[in-house]
Structures are given as C-alpha cells and as structure tokens.
Amino acid sequence: MTDLARTKDILSELISFPTVSTDSNLDMIQHMGALLYDIGASVDIYADDSGTKANLFATIGPDRDGGILLSGHSDVVPVADQDWRSDPFQLYEADDKLYGRGTCDMKGFIAATLAMAPEFARRELSRPIHFAFTHDEETGCIGAQTLVSELKARGIKPGIAVIGEPTMMRIIEGHKGCCEYTTRFSGLEGHGSAPDRGVNAAEYAVRYVSRLLEIREELKGRAPGNSRFDPPWTTLNIGRVTGGVAHNVIVGKSEVEWEFRPVQSDDYDYVTSEITRYAETVLLPAMRAICPDASIETETIGEVTGLEPMPENEARDLVAGLTGSNDADVVAFGTEAGLFQSLGLSAVVCGPGSIDQAHKPDEYIELKQLSACLDMLKGLGRKVAA
C-alpha cells in the first residue's frame, strides 16, 4: 500500500468521527492513540475536567529535549444548516479531491502524520518526534492551552513545532492573536409602555457594541508601520447579539459575542482597558441608578496569543529545507502555534489544503496537497535519522 493510500484510509477513519466542538472527541483520540501505541510510541491521553474531551501527546524516538512536534486539532466546526452533496462524515472522493468535514481543517494533516509514523518508528532517530492532537481549537484553543501547561509541568521541552493548519504547504511564520468574549447584560424587565422604569439590557448592549465599533476604527490608526498583515491593524468583530422575549417587554437579559485579533500586545491592553473603562464608568452607573442589581459581566472564551515572526527560527529553516520553499508569510487567521511558541520553541504553520475550504459545505482537500505533505514528512524522517 502506498503512503498516499494509507493516508486516505486513515483520513476516512478520522472523518467518520463527528468531532464537532460541542461533542466529545474521545473516540477519535483513543483511535489515534491505539495506532501510535501499536508502533511503539509512548502515548499519553489527557482528559479535560468534563471527561468528554481529551488531548493526545505521543512520542517516537529518544527521551530527550529538542524534539520536533507535529500538531493538529481534532475538533471540527458544525455542519448544521449547510448544504452538502454527500454525508459530511463519510469520506467522498471525486476529481482528485477528498470531501468531508475536517478534510483540510485539519484531519488531512493528522492523517498524513499517522501514516508516516511507522516510518519514523523504523528509524533510529537523533531527536524525538512528538504528536500533539488537541481538542476545542475552534472554540478558543482550549485544548492546546491545557496541553501546553501539561508539557510545562512535565518538563517536556520540544525544540520545534509544526502546526499543520491548511496553508497550501506555504510556510507561515506569523499570525495575529485571537481573543473571544461573551459579555452579558442583566437589567430590569418591565412593560414596554414605561421604558424609563426598567433597565433595558438590549439597549445597553447596543451602546456597548457602539463603543466597540468606535474602538475598531481607532485600532486602524494604531497599525505598526512595519506590519506585514492584511489588514495591517488589529481587527474587531461583533459575532452575535441576543436579547428580549417580546415587542412590548423591556429586555432583562442580553448578550454580545465579540472578538478581536491583535497584531501587537499593546493593542490587547488598549481594547480591554478601553471597553472595561466604558462599561464600568459610563454604562453601569446609569443601569444601577435604576436597578442596583444590574450587571455587566464578560466571560473570556479564549485568549490565544499570536505567532510572532522571529529573526532566528529553526522551525522555519527546517520546513524550508524540507519543502524547497524560501518564502515565509504571515496570515490573519489564528492557530495554536503561538501557544507552542510560548514554551520557548520555534514554530511555523504549514499544512495541506486551503483555508478557503475550511468551515464550508463540501469541504475538501486535494490529493496533490496530501502528497506534498507526505513528501515533507518523509524528508523529516530522513533528516532526523541518526
């Protein structure tokens, strides 16, 4: 069986696990753990507090620092309300493309690493190769955050991380951070005919959103002069606003889901301090003048650090040598790479498929992209052979 055929078989198995972020990923994690254990890898599975989600960390090769970490997330986005021409959780092949939820984002890369794992295991490696498969990347990189903490606690120190998000096998050395929040407003309900007697949570949510939109415009003027991002400034997006039960009822509860993607740490401080100041000094006093129990509470869904481009980057240089590309770009979308970089290792994002296909109906990955990824991983095996 060819490496590509083996990768397709594994990918078919992975796609069959409906690991939407709202659901458990344990079956898929255990399946991948068994594949790696069977070839002699050391395998650790870390369940979250709920016991329904888990990360996998496995190692092939010597027990030493400076290993090469291959990382991918196991979760996928929902398929609800999307019009697919085939079952999204059954791999479908047509026109040299493989269709299914997660084919490019990012089970294709995971399948390629698992297909090449036996080749790694057959070699005498000069440095370990690690496999890091996480949960809940799509909802704030929650799994990667806990895995990074676990690796720190265990004193495991890889030297390089390759995060296989779909980049068409381009080398990505930098990306923006991603900070996601849900802000909840609690007011005082009442009859719509007497709006001054209540505290309309939706109205205060709207004012909050208006201030966020003002901050969004202010961020454009804060773009670093040397920014390589497109757009070059920190972006801010309002994802969802909810509240209310009827036309004639003062809204008692409202929520705003929002996010921003900083290009620099100063922008993180600016956004969070400005919106907090506005809520605490302008909105809350007005709400509590009528209802002392009124509140504004913000839940942090995820605060994922960006991947900072570094002048010296062993991961970039290694992948460049394996792929034959000397170009390294930056992108606006976020990944887990910055979290692994926080361990003190060098990191890049490079994987098969296009981000343009991610999250859409009829998501697919081209076979030639999987082949290119396999070529990179084969080269990696040769590179680290003792």
pLDDT bin (cut points 50, 70, 90) of residue 334 is: confident
What does the pLDDT read at residue 175? 93
Amino acid occupying residue 355: I
Dig out the tokens for 346 from the structure. 């060098």
24-33, 68-77, 161-170, 223-232, range with the lowest pLDDT: 223-232
Q: List the end-to-end C-alpha distance of the chain, in Å, as a whole number.
A: 26
What does the pLDDT read at residue 386? 64
What does the pLDDT read at residue 264? 86
Dig out the tokens for 118 from the structure. 């036996």
Task: Fill in the DSSP letter of residue 105.
Answer: I
- pLDDT greater than 90 at residue 353: yes
The percent of residues above 90 in pLDDT, for the chain, comes to 91
Residue 3 to residue 327: CA distance in whole angstroms: 27
Candidates 38, 310, 62, 367; CA nearest to 172 is 310
Instruction: Give me the mean pLDDT over the 141-156 stretch.
Output: 94
pLDDT bin (cut points 50, 70, 90) of residue 23 is: very high
Candidates 97, 37, 106; CA nearest to 70 is 106
pLDDT, tens digit (0-9, with 9 covering 90-100), for 272-301: 999 999 999 999 999 999 999 999 999 998
pTM, to two decimals: 0.85
Ramachandran angles phi, psi of 85, nearest 5°: -85, -10
What does the pLDDT read at residue 283? 98
CB 253 within 8 A of CB 245: no
The mean predicted confidence, pLDDT, of the chain is: 95
Dig out the tokens for 105 from the structure. 């984002």
pLDDT, tens digit (0-9, with 9 covering 90-100), for 81-103: 999 999 999 999 999 999 999 99
Dig out the tokens for 140 from the structure. 């704030």
Instruction: Give me the mean pLDDT over the 204-225 stretch.
Output: 97
CB 311 within 8 A of CB 156: no
What does the pLDDT read at residue 304? 84
- pLDDT greater than 90 at residue 332: no
CB 163 within 8 A of CB 335: yes
> Which residues are tagged catalytic?
75, 137
> Is cis: bond before 106, omega within 30 of 0?
yes
